[in-house]
Structure 1
Amino acid sequence: MQKIRKAVIPAAGYGTRFLPATKATPKEMLPIVDKPTIQYIVEEALASGIEEILVVSGHGKRAIEDHFDSAPALEAELEKKGKLELLHEVQETADINIHYIRQRYMRGLGDAILCAKSFIGDEPFAVLLGDDVVYNPQKPALRQLIDIYDWTGGSVLGCQNVSEEKVSSYGIVAGEKTDNARLMRVLDMVEKPAREDAPSRLAVLGRYIIRPEIFSILATTKPGKGGEIQLTDALKVLAGREPVYAYDFEGERYDVGDKLGFLRATVEFALRRDDLGGAFRDYLKGLVTRI
């Protein structure tokens, strides 16, 4: 069975929910404390054993490429001032093996994945969506999915249960139980269903291991919900042809495509920092008593 070596990060969206901040800055570059959101995603991929990453970008996303590129003038200035720890961080970011391709037209997530076909070839691959940041210091969410793929040999969807009020925001899975309490075989999927039409509360949350057979399905998938080519629709077809699994991964997941979720991530990541956590916790306690 082929090793999962490659990952795709779709990053072509406009980020309209964060306007005007995203008018000239990619939403993927909005910082959680002092690190761009997309860097958390890339670091999760690397910590999971991924060797090559493809970012599917779009118009106005050059800042992503610049961030993961070398910066000779900045590096020289940091070295001159003796800021060696910061210098190491900047150089380490530039050493990551990242490729780029543009999604020329905004035709949905399925079309973005199809753009990666030549990069992936005939290998199974990972997909990480930038709107979902997962905190799990023991085992990254993507690594959990790779382990399930290594065990089952089938495509794996990273899922968690969401509230009834939130089902209309996600692809929702129906399936049958397996011997693993956190694992289901997928029987059906519905993209952003109304609450009364949702087959469960198990939502696909931005992490996937997908077999390469998905590309031939995506090539013939018609536009669906919102007039876009939906990855959910293609995965549903794939599940009718071969085993596809939904895994309830472990970790604290943040929807950073939502303003409240982004604020939660910022606060909680800051509280976990050795250099910020104590002082920031004291500030928050004082703030609560004043407001």
Structure 2
Amino acid sequence: MNSNAEYRRVRTAVFPVAGLGTRFLPATKDIPKEMMPLIDRPLIHHGVDEAVASGCTRVVFVTGQGKESICRYFEPSFELSALLRERGKGELADVVDSIYKLAEFHYAYQAKPLGLGHAVLCAEEFCRDEYFGLLLPDDVMTAEPTALAQLEAVREKYEGSVLCLEEVSPEDVSRYGIVDAEEIEPGVYRIKGLVEKPKPEEAPSRLAIMGRYLLSPKIFKHLKNLKRGAGGEYQLTDAIASLLEEEPVYATVYKGQRLDCGIKEGWIQATVVKALEDEKLRDIVLAAVAEYEASANGEKTK
């Protein structure tokens, strides 16, 4: 367990956003997947909100070609803000101004999408000397405390990298990195091994790694020694497996709800869920569904 009296909480959050977003083509031909709206904010904004709520003060985006709009979104918009105030829309101006004030933003460039491991390595200059959070924006997490904060609680107790887990169905294990782990307290595990997207019959468990990590800076040494793995990409799970030979790695089954916005079906579901959670939108959604069902059944609608 951690006995360091000078424990420092994670202050830097890394977001890999250089992917091509092929599942959402043709929309993502011009719009980054991370900028697709989930109600009134783009997906990436939801992730940044979680990082900030977890105590992070610095955000690093690992971007690629065609991702300029992400940078612009988190930059000040002084002209827009001034125009809104001139028109008496001060509250909206405050909302616009609050975006660039969320955190200190930095950018690293990934020339080609060569896998999550390679994306993390691109952010080394910003977090080579300290633990950092890694958040995959496809996963929108609703939890209290935040999923990242739940990982932080485990790191504070045991000292080491911490992964976020969810138990998945046998048919879904081939979609995720799966851990071989020993439970050391309810919902908390010490990792013994990892495998990326195994066949169901070869999976060591049904505990899948989700899109939240707290990583030791020692991970960069192992990322530099990686060879291409599953899919011809540099897999973060391979680097974590190598890190296990140097120091312990832990994991926890997070408490909360995950909305998988990396696929169209999940993004639609997330939009409906978020709308139902909003008092102003809930009745609109329910009325639209009722009207659709009535129309489908041949009933007259008002």
TM-score (norm 1): 0.96
Structure 1 residue 131 and structure 2 residue 148: aligned?
no
Corresponding residue for 2:123? 116
Whole-Å separation in 2 of the counterparts to 1:80 and 1:284: 39
Secondary structure in structure 2 of the residue aligned to 1:275: helix
> Post-superposition, which runs of at least 4 consecutive aligned residues in structure 1 deviate over 4 A?
none
User: Cα offset for 1:288?
Assistant: 3.2
CA contact (8 A) 1:8 1:116 kept: yes
Amino acid paired to 1:218: L
Contact 2:151 2:251 in 1 (8 A): no
Q: 2:234 aligns with which of 229, 236, 259?
A: 229
1:92 has 2:101 as partner: no
Q: Are the counterparts in 2 of residues 190 and 232 from structure 1 also a CA contact under 8 Å?
A: yes
Deviations 1:138-179 (A, max 9, x none): 211111111111111111001101111211111011111112
Match of 1:200 among 199, 205, 208: 205
Please give the secondary structure, in 2, of the residue aligned with 1:156: strand
**SS in structure 1 at match of 2:29:** coil
Aligned mates of 2:295, 2:148 — CA distance in 1: 41
Question: 1:146-225 maps to which residues of 2 (within 5 A)?
Answer: 146-179=152-185, 181-225=186-230
Alignment: residue pair count: 289
Q: Deviations over 1:1-42 (max 9, x none)?
A: 332111100000000000000001100000011210000000
Q: Which residue in the other structure is 1:257 paired with?
A: 262
Superposed displacement of residue 261, structure 1: 0.7
Partner amino acid, structure 2, of 1:205: M
Q: Which residue of 2 aligns with 1:71?
A: 77
Residues 50-103 of structure 1 deviation map (CA, whole Å, 9 limit, x = unaligned): 010100000000000111111122112211222222111110002131111111
Quick check: 1:2 aligned with 2:11? no
Q: C-alpha displacement at 1:125, in angstroms?
A: 0.7
Amino acid paired to 1:133: V
Choose 1 or 2 for highest CA Rg: 2
Matched, 1:30 2:36: yes
2:21 to 10, 15, 26: 15
Root-mean-square deviation over aligned CA pairs:
1.1
Please give the alpha-carbon distance, in whole angstroms, between the structure 1 residues aligned to 2:228 and 2:192.
21
Distance in 2 separating the partners of 1:198 and 1:290: 46
Could you tell me which runs of 5 or more consecutive residues in structure 1 were left unpaired when the two chains were aligned.
none
Deviations 1:194-232 (Å, cap 9, x if unpaired)? 111111111111000000110001100111011111000
Higher mean C-alpha displacement, 217-226 vs 159-168: 159-168
SS in 2 for 1:240: coil
- What is the one-letter code of the residue matched to 2:200? R
Q: Which amino acid aligns with 2:216?
A: R
Letter in 2 for 1:134: M
- The equivalent of 1:243 in structure 2 is 248
In structure 2, the partner of 1:80 is 86
Partner of 2:113: 106
Higher mean alpha-carbon deviation, 23-32 vs 158-167, is at 158-167
Q: Distance in 2 between matches of 1:251 and 1:85?
A: 31
**Bigger shift: residues 95-104 or 48-57:** 95-104
Q: CA deviation at 1:275?
A: 1.9
Q: Which residue does the alignment assign to 2:293?
A: 288
Residues in 1 aligned to 2:224 and 2:210: alpha-carbon distance in whole angstroms: 23
Alpha carbons 2:128, 2:220 under 8 Å: kept: no
The residue aligned with 2:300 is none
Equivalent residue, structure 1, for 2:4: none
The reply on whether 1:267 has 2:272 as its aligned counterpart is: yes
List runs of 5+ in structure 2 lacking aligned partners: 1-6, 297-302
Q: Which amino acid aligns with 1:189?
A: L
User: How many percent identity over aligned positions?
Assistant: 44
The answer as to whether partners of 1:187 and 1:239 remain within 8 angstroms in 2 is yes
Tell me if structure 2 keeps the 8 A contact 1:187–1:240: no
Residues of 1 paired with 2:109 and 2:293: CA distance? 45
| Aligned residue identity for 1:279 | I
